[in-house]
Copies of this chain bind each other. A is one copy, B any other.
Amino acid sequence: MKPSLPRGTRDFGPADVQKRNYLFTVLKRHFGLYGFAPIETPAMEQLETLTGKYGDEGDQLIFKILNSRLNESSEKNQVAGAFNEMLEAGKSSKLLTERALRYDLTVPFARFVVMNQHQLVFPFRRYQIQPVWRADKPQKGRYREFWQCDADIIGSESLVNELDLMALMDSAFAELQLPVTIRLNNRKILNGLAAAAGHADQLTDITVAIDKLDKIGVEGVVNELASKGISPKGIDFLTPLLRFQGNQHEKIELLRSLIGKHEVGAKGIEEITYLFENASVKHAELQFDLTLARGLNYYTGTIFEASANAGTLTSSILGGGRYDDLTGIFGLKQMSGVGISFGIDRIYDVMEELNLFPEAASKATATTLMFVHFDVAAQRHCLQLAAVLRAGGIACEVYPDAGKKTNKQFDYANKRQVPYVVTVGSDEMASAVYPLKNMQTGEQQKLTLNGILDALK
């Protein structure tokens, strides 16, 4: 039997894991600086916790787990009946499956907050870095098992939380040396625009059309708006925005003149103005992007997105925003929250392309020094030396097979890219002075064991 991996899943070898850990470590340090504490939830959730939360399309992509007591069931007819019903109606039956793999970290977080509401202190800040699973068609950069990395603050309406998240993204991307643009929008502004244009119910149509401005130009957008049934008056109202040229301050002023008297729209303008005025963003480019409309059915205020300013990836590497009723689905009302999600797999790909992983984080071998030896007695001596080095914090190994030719042993160290080798024979055992060889430069130093410890520390 030739083994294989399920489509859309990956193994991570030593160098991959080290680089991913570098990324996680940097993000975790920045989460910590902003007071976010980690939580973890199980891979499996009750199926009913997940279904109905991601739309019909999302529901189809949830990986469901076959009930384990299925094979033992004494009520086979009943189970078989439920199964046939499932095939007919396209609905899953509790007799077949009651559990599923989590589809994102947001719904499990909402469940966690509701189940632990009496122990948690609100506002509650958490981060969570875990894999999620989706039965999506695998393609380049899209996996069936991938990692999400979310930071949320729940239980506070204050825009200070948005500022914290913006500063957090900025400082994390700065440490990763990844040049980025952070784009900002506000759902309330979009609401105000749609309402003032006389089409409050066509928010999505309007946003989708505006989003194409770069590609199809003003005339193209106008045509699309018309084809979606937006009235000439509504199109006239929106046209100044499409023709707008100017800086962010001027864009906000234009909006104020258009929807400043619309209650919700004005609130949106006030919010985004506050964010631009108080943002502590030093590394990233910050943009007000009126076309930004991710998760429209979900976000109620600020909308965030970030993308890399270098490399070939054009899609976003971070998304997020404010939601007013995340936990309402589980019965806990009036919990406003705001969160961001780092797209780990995409960030990884961009950093790889731009060669941004530090050399120390890219090594497939953990070993600093390997002992090469001539015979069983020398190997035994090496074991004692290794114990001292390890106690001193030096990662080392003794070549496992005794009596093997030293050039074979050197080959092994070379292939594994071990940076230092010490060869031990009867002379070294007698003198307690050992040749420390730098495998990259070929240089060799004769040192005592303490000398080696000092040299490698």
**What are the residues of chain B within 8 A of A142 when measuring CB–CB?**
none
Question: Which of A62-70, A232-240, A253-261, A428-436 has 4 or more CB atoms under 8 Å from chain B?
Answer: A62-70
| A213 close to chain B: CB less than 8 A | no
Tell me if A334 is interfacial: C-beta within 8 Å of chain B. Answer: no
* Cα separation A101 to B3 with both chains bound (whole Å): 16
Q: How far is the CB of A25 from chain B (nearest CB, A)?
A: 11
A48 within 8 A of B: yes
Contact A330 B34 (CB under 8 A): no
Nearest B residue to A64 via CB reads: B66
CB of A12 within 8 Å of the partner chain? yes
Determine whether the beta carbon of A397 is less than 8 Å from that of B11: no
Name the residue of chain B whose CB is nearest to the CB of A87: B76
B residues in contact with A123, CB < 8 Å = 400
Complex alpha-carbon distance, A368 and B351, angstroms: 31
Would you call A42 an interface residue if the criterion is a C-beta within 8 Å of the partner chain's C-beta atoms? yes
Give the residues from 101 to 120 in chain A that come closer than 8 angstroms, CB to CB, to chain B: 101, 111-112, 114-116, 119
Say yes or no: is A390 at the interface (Cβ < 8 Å to chain B): yes
A116 touching B156 in the complex, CB below 8 Å, given contacts A390-B167, A396-B35 = no
The reply to whether A42 and B366 form a contact with Cβ atoms under 8 Å apart is no
Cβ of A313 within 8 Å of any chain B Cβ, yes or no, is no
Whether B68 pairs with A65 at a CB distance below 8 angstroms is: no
| Given A11-B115, A415-B121, A44:B145 Cβ within 8 A | yes
Question: Is A357's CB within 8 Å of the partner chain B?
Answer: no
Do the beta carbons of B156 and A36 come within 8 Å of each other?
no
In the assembled complex, the CB of A40 is this many whole angstroms from the nearest CB of chain B, namely 4
Instruction: Name the B residues within 8 Å of A341 (CB-CB).
Output: none
Q: Indicate if the CB atoms of A3 and B115 lie closer than 8 Å.
A: yes
Residue A131 is within 8 A (CB to CB) of chain B in the complex: yes
Q: Is A401 an interface residue (CB 8 A)?
A: yes
What does DSSP make chain A's interface, helix, strand, loop or mixed?
A: mixed
Question: A17 near B40 (CB under 8 angstroms)?
Answer: yes
Shortest distance between the CB of A338 and any CB in chain B (Å): 10
Interface size on A, residues (CB 8 A): 113
Q: Does A31 contact B (CB under 8 A)?
A: yes
Copies in the complex: 2
A94 at interface by CB-CB < 8 Å: no
A157 to B364 Cα, complex, angstroms = 23
**A40 interface neighbour in B12, B84, B387, Cβ under 8 Å:** B12
A395-B164 Cα distance, complex, nearest whole Å: 12
Which B residues touch A226, using CB under 8 A? none
Who on chain B is nearest to A327 by CB? Answer: B3
Docked-complex contact B366 and A3, CB < 8 angstroms:
no
Assembly CA distance A382 to B23 (angstroms):
29
B80 near A87 (CB under 8 angstroms)?
yes
Verify A37–B14 contact, CB threshold 8 A: yes
**Interface residue A440 (Cβ < 8 Å from any Cβ of B):** no
> Which residues of A177-216 are within 8 A (CB) of B?
none
Q: What residues of chain B lie closer than 8 Å to A83, measured between beta carbons?
A: 80, 83
Residues of B within 8 A of A135 (CB): 68
Measured in the bound complex, the distance between the Cα atoms of B11 and A105 in whole Å is: 13
CB of A38 closer than 8 Å to a CB of B = yes
Which residues from chain B contact A125 at a C-beta distance below 8 Å?
A: 397
Query: Is A439 part of the contact surface with B, judged by Cβ < 8 Å?
Result: no
For residue A398, CB closer than 8 A to chain B, the reply is yes
Q: How far is the CB of A365 from chain B (nearest CB, A)?
A: 6
Task: List the 9 closest A-B pairs by CB distance, nearest first.
Answer: A68-B135, A14-B37, A9-B42, A158-B400, A35-B367, A35-B397, A17-B38, A12-B40, A64-B66
19 A-B pairs with C-beta separation under 8 A: A5-B46, A11-B112, A12-B39, A14-B37, A18-B37, A42-B145, A44-B144, A63-B66, A64-B68, A65-B65, A66-B92, A68-B135, A70-B86, A76-B87, A83-B83, A123-B400, A125-B397, A157-B401, A164-B398
